[in-house]
Every structure is written in structure tokens, then in C-alpha cells.
Amino acid sequence: MKASTGLHLVAGTRLSTGPDATLKLRLADGSTLQLGANSQLTLGKQVFYPTTGAIQSLNQLDRGSASNAVVPKQLMPNRYQIYTPSAVTTVRGTEFRARSLNDKDTAAEVLRGKVNLAAGDDGIDIPAGFGGRSDGKQSAALPQP
């Protein structure tokens, strides 16, 4: 089906973009997820806690890229994770990009806040202004805009 404003999506929904398309989702807490061209994402568990405004969002990025802006919450931190075939990015109220490069390599770039990128038992914390890869052991500074 084609995307439309106000469409209600449930866990298990698979979203795909073509070569000249992007898709932007707004979650119940105001956080956003934007899929880049040639991307595929499966929505996982989505739980919104209205009393605190926090969200639990677990999604699978099968291929391509996703830019994310997660609204930080003071009372109860959000649990926002993007799984790829090779790693998991865990967010701590931030703005970041994740890209599934192939089944063995995931890249993450952090624009604001902090992200944990874990491949198997190994993980690295990536602060704002840095990026990391699941096949590496440390983060590196992003180039100047």
C-alpha cells in the first residue's frame, strides 16, 4: 500500500522505499524516523507511556539507512533501538543516523546525544559529533559540515 498522512502502523509492518524516495514516521512521543532511499525497515514493538511521555520502540533495519531524532524524556528515559543484521544501536535521547551497509557491517553517526552500537558482545558508546562501525572497536570524529 502507498504511504499516507495519519496512517496507523502496527508491529510487523514492513516499510520499503524506492531509489528516489524517503519516508518519515512520527512516533507517539514526537520522535521521528526517516528512511533513506532503497531502505527496508520492519516495525517491532512500539509502546507509548502517556503518563511519562516515554516510548519503547524496537525496529529492524534490514537494509539502507534511517535518520532518527529521539525526544529525550526526564521522568522515564525512552528505549529506542534499531537492529540491523550485524549490530544494535541503542539510543539515549539523541539524533542519529544508522546504516546497514551489509549483513556484517553497520554504521552509526551521532548528531546530538549518545548512541551505543553493539555487535555481539562488543559495544561502543558513540558521543555527539562522532561515528562508529560495528566492525570497529572505537568511534571516530565526523568530518566538519
Structural domains of the chain, ranges and CATH numbers in brackets: 14-137 (2.60.120.1440)
What is d(CA 105, CA 87) in angstroms, rounded to the nearest whole number?
Answer: 8
Residue 96 to residues 2, 4, 7, 52, 117: CA-CA distances in angstroms?
A: 26, 25, 24, 23, 11
What is d(CA 71, CA 32) in angstroms, rounded to the nearest whole number?
Answer: 8
| Sequence-distant (≥ 6) Cβ neighbours of residue 51 within 8 angstroms | none
User: pLDDT confidence of 30, banded at 50, 70, 90?
Assistant: confident
Cell of 135: 566492525
Contact 42, 13 (CB under 8 A): yes
What pLDDT sits at residue 75? 65
Average pLDDT of the residues of the chain: 85
| Sequence-distant (≥ 6) Cβ neighbours of residue 2 within 8 angstroms | none
Return the SS3 of 70.
coil
Most confident of 58-67, 77-86, 93-102, 107-116: 58-67
What pLDDT sits at residue 56? 85
**What's the whole-model pTM score?**
0.78
What is d(CA 30, CA 19) in angstroms, rounded to the nearest whole number?
Answer: 27
How would you class 30 by CB atoms within 10 Å of its CB: exposed for 0-12, middle for 13-18, buried for 19 or more? Answer: exposed
The percent of residues above 90 in pLDDT, for the chain, comes to 28
Over the stretch 31-75, which tens digit does the pLDDT of each residue have? 899 999 999 999 999 888 888 888 888 999 999 999 988 887 766
User: pLDDT confidence of 28, banded at 50, 70, 90?
Assistant: confident
Identify the H or E element spanning 50: none
Q: Which of 7-16, 54-63, 100-109 has the lowest mean pLDDT?
A: 100-109
Characterize 104-113 residue by residue with b for buried, 16 or more Cβ atoms within 10 angstroms of its Cβ, and e for exposed: ebbbbbbbeb
Over the stretch 65-80, which tens digit does the pLDDT of each residue have? 999 888 877 666 678 8
